[in-house]
Structure 1
Amino acid sequence: MKYRNTDNWKNEMKKLAKAKGVDIPSMQQRFILEEFAKKIGSSAYGDRLILKGGFIVSTLLGMDTRTTRDLDVTCRTTIYDISGMEDIVKEVLETPTDSFFEYELADIKPAQKDDENTGFIVSINARKDNISLNLKIDVSNNTLIYPDAIRTTLPSMFDEKDIDLLSYPLENIIAEKYETTLDRGEFNSRMRDLYDIYFLMRDSRHLIDENLLADTIIKVSEERETLDNLYEFEEILEELQESSAFQTAFNKHGEKFGFEYITLNDVFETFREIQDLVEIELNIDECVSVKV
């Protein structure tokens, strides 16, 4: 859709926000995320920068269920320093697309994680006349994508031009969230992951290859050296269900986003359905008996 000017754009964002049941800033943020995602997909690095996380989940579930303010991207090859990251970002920024906003690099910082070369946090400014918005891109370095990235065509919320890019398989997105939930236990602050898994398994199950999902969970757990969690699944879930702090955090997240009708038991039933698939794939009962 073409916008005559910034006032016209603001009015259209207001209308869309009302129609989707979200606040106006969230809709404006979605707009710049889409524009920048199109730049990534069209750039010379379109075959190396792979989108994952909230942007993909939000597109599948709809903004009334899931919003996001950032882009999560994995680079197929390792980026060793800020200079290398800057070169990639500048190439993406210079890629010609029919963007309403002008985009410029604001800042690049190393990701604050334990491992070396884990990635970068990139800050991008979007400007148009008197409007200035900001988006952040969490770039991870050469992490496991199983079995491989897929060419994805995502529908745009704002025009008829689809977003063509590489993304994580849906099974990989769920697997990472599943592994993180089990590994962090009651100290997990990522309640959004639990709801994402619940909604994706409920609303997008027709898109999920269950055998591939189980296999990917195993691969991700092996890569992260957390395979033991799959053997201790029931103990971990019992610990979480008995944790008042975890239950409180879960309920607060649900209240904030209007999901009070979803209980922790509902979510864990979904986890158990997934675990049943994992146990079949892993022959986990036999492994446990041998281990004992």
Structure 2
Amino acid sequence: MKYRNTDNWKNEMKKAAKLNGADVPSMQQRFILEEFAQKIGSSVYGDRLILKGGFIVSTLLGMDTRTTRDLDVTCRTTIYGISEMEKIVKKVLDTPTESFFEYELADIRPAQKDDENAGFIVSINARKENISLNLKIDVSNNTLIYPDAIRTTLPSMFNEEDIKLLSYPLENIIAEKYETTLDRGEFNSRMRDLYDIYFLMKDSSNLVDENLLADTIIKVSEERGTLDNLYEFEEILEELQESSTFRTAFKRHGEKFGFEDITLNDVFETFREIQDFVERELNIDECVSMKV
């Protein structure tokens, strides 16, 4: 869609927000996320920068269920310093696309993680006349993608032109969230991950390959050194269900985003369905029988 000016754009964002059950700021943010994702996919780094996380989940589930303000990207090869990251970002920014906004690099800083090559947080400003918006890109370095990145065509919410890029497989997205939930325990602050897993597994339009999901969870857990959690699944879930801290955080997140009807038991039943796939791959029942 072509916009005559910023007032016309604002009016169209209001219409889109109403149509999609979202608030106007979230819809405006979605617009610049789409424009920048299009730049990534069209750039010379389109085969190295792979999208994952909330942007993909929001596209699959719809903005009435899931919104996001940032882009999560992993790079196939390790980016060793800020200067190299800056070079990549500027190449993406210079990629010609039919963008309504003009984009400029605001800041790059190392991600606050234990690994010195964990990645970067990139801040981008989007400007048009009297409008200034900001988006952040969480860039991780050379993380496991199993079995491989996929070429994805995402429908745009604003234009007839689709967004073409590389992304994580759906099973990889679920696997990372599953592993994180089991590993962080009762002090996990990522309640959104639980709801994402629940909705992605329950939405019949998202066809999840059960065997691939199980394999990916095992691969991710091995990569992160948390494979034991898969053998201690019921103990971990029991601890979470008994934790008032965890239950309160889950309830607050649900109330904030309108998911009051979804209980922790509902979510954990979905986790148990996934764990059945995992245990089948690991032959956990046979291992337990042999120990007995």
Tell me, yes or no, whether TM beats 0.5: yes
Give matches, 1:98-137, under 5 Å.
98-137=98-137
In structure 1, what is the Cα distance between the partners aligned to 2:74 and 2:147? Answer: 15
2:195 counterpart residue number: 195
- Cα deviation, 1:44-99, whole Å, max 9, x if unaligned, reads 00000000000000000000000000000000000000000000000000000000
1:63 counterpart residue number: 63
1:39 counterpart residue number: 39
Give matches, 1:41-190, under 5 Å.
41-190=41-190
* Corresponding residue SS for 1:159: coil
Give matches, 1:215-230, under 5 Å.
215-230=215-230
Can you give the 5+ residue segments of structure 2 that lack an aligned partner in the other structure? none
Matched letter for residue 175 of structure 1: A
* Corresponding residue SS for 1:51: strand
In structure 1, what is the Cα distance between the partners aligned to 2:204 and 2:76? Answer: 27
How many pairs are equivalent?
292
In structure 2, what is the Cα distance between the partners aligned to 1:42 and 1:72? Answer: 17
* Corresponding residue SS for 2:144: coil
* Corresponding residue SS for 2:166: strand
* Corresponding residue SS for 2:113: coil
Q: Does 1:280 align with 2:275?
A: no
Stretch of structure 1 that moved more, 149-158 or 282-291: 282-291
In structure 1, what is the Cα distance between the partners aligned to 2:141 and 2:261? Answer: 38
- Cα deviation, 1:149-188, whole Å, max 9, x if unaligned, reads 0000000000110000000000000000000000001010
- Residue 116 of structure 1: how far off its partner (Å): 1.6
- Residue 288 of structure 1: how far off its partner (Å): 3.6
- Residue 206 of structure 1: how far off its partner (Å): 4.4
In structure 1, what is the Cα distance between the partners aligned to 2:168 and 2:39? Answer: 18
In structure 1, what is the Cα distance between the partners aligned to 2:144 and 2:49? Answer: 13
In structure 2, what is the Cα distance between the partners aligned to 1:287 and 1:127? Answer: 59
Runs of 4+ in 1 over 4 A off after TM superposition: 289-292
Matched letter for residue 22 of structure 1: A
Decide whether the 8 Å contact of 2:200 with 2:206 is kept in 1: no
Report the identity percentage. Answer: 89
Decide whether the 8 Å contact of 1:231 with 1:288 is kept in 2: no
In structure 2, what is the Cα distance between the partners aligned to 1:204 and 1:288? Answer: 33
- Residue 205 of structure 1: how far off its partner (Å): 6.0
In structure 1, what is the Cα distance between the partners aligned to 2:68 and 2:27? Answer: 10
- Residue 22 of structure 1: how far off its partner (Å): 1.1
Stretch of structure 1 that moved more, 206-215 or 176-185: 206-215
1:7 counterpart residue number: 7
In structure 1, what is the Cα distance between the partners aligned to 2:259 and 2:30? Answer: 21
- Residue 287 of structure 1: how far off its partner (Å): 2.8
In structure 2, what is the Cα distance between the partners aligned to 1:37 and 1:216? Answer: 25
* Corresponding residue SS for 1:207: coil
In structure 2, what is the Cα distance between the partners aligned to 1:206 and 1:163? Answer: 18
- Residue 232 of structure 1: how far off its partner (Å): 0.2
In structure 1, what is the Cα distance between the partners aligned to 2:206 and 2:57? Answer: 15
- Residue 285 of structure 1: how far off its partner (Å): 1.8
- Residue 18 of structure 1: how far off its partner (Å): 1.2
